[in-house]
Amino acid sequence: MIKFFNNLKEFKKEVLSLNLEIELDAIIDLDFTFFEIHDKYTLLNISDYDQINPKNILLISKKHILVYSNKNFNNYEKNFKNIIKKPYGETTIIILLLLKNILKNYSHEFQKIREGMNSLEFDPVIEKVEKFGRELRRLTDRFEELVQLIITLKERDIKEFNTSLIIFDYDILNAEARYWLERCRSHIYRIASLRTKSEMKSNRELNATITRLTVIMTFLSIVGIVVSVPGTIGAIFGIPALSDTYFQLHTTTLIMVLITSTILTILLGYWYWKSLKLK
């Protein structure tokens, strides 16, 4: 008898009623694929990226098949009616459809990550690059776990899952899972490329900032020199002993010297500024 659940509490209650020694809470908390074959039951737990219910748990005992998942199993009796009539045909189809739905969910997540990476090609922000890198590595791990599970289910002698009934569909599932895994792995190199682009962009921005600071410091230095020359001359002429003795009768000459020295230092400063060719 197969029962489908969308409510976790109801699923736990049903599992407890079977009197099976299962630490269900610990298994639910796992963030990786869990597969266990016991004398009394077979348990499969796979997480995906469903926003409502990311957990998919399949429990198969001698008389019961419990499925906790948000995936769509509609019309499987009609679409696989010939296989369901065979021994363990129904459990085989349920597991196959569950794996197909999970693979579809993973592939949609890959497309989201890929679109996000494409948006960073011309503006690689390092924080976003690292974010997509973490998401892609986690997705790659999940694809690897899924491929390994597909291999294990085929190699292990599991009477509830008879792959000989679905050879063609299962081979296609295996090929698709491997295809998406390779695509994830290839895009990990894209993350490295985006990280390099981001570092180059940061270096260019840093160099531009350093150049601007250099221009500002050079300008301030020139201004300091322009101001200091006439200031020094004025300070010397402003010494009372000197001004009273030598320059009291030559005030006009003193003013002309100050104006000339100021103009001359401005011109020399401007010439030096232009010679640096700073922008």
Q: For 36, list phi and psi in degrees, rounded to 5.
A: -140, 135
In Å, what is the CA distance from 188 to each residue of 112, 132, 176?
15, 10, 19
CB 89 within 8 A of CB 96: no
Per-residue pLDDT of the chain (279 residues), as tens digits, is 788 888 889 988 988 888 888 888 888 888 889 988 888 888 899 999 988 888 999 998 878 889 998 887 777 777 788 888 888 888 888 889 999 999 999 999 999 999 999 988 888 888 888 899 999 999 999 999 999 999 998 888 777 888 888 899 999 999 999 999 999 999 988 888 888 887 777 777 777 788 777 777 777 776 776 667 666 666 666 666 555 555 555 667 667 766 777 777 777 767 766 776 655
pTM: 0.73
Name the residue ranges covered by the structural domains of the chain. 1-69, 210-276
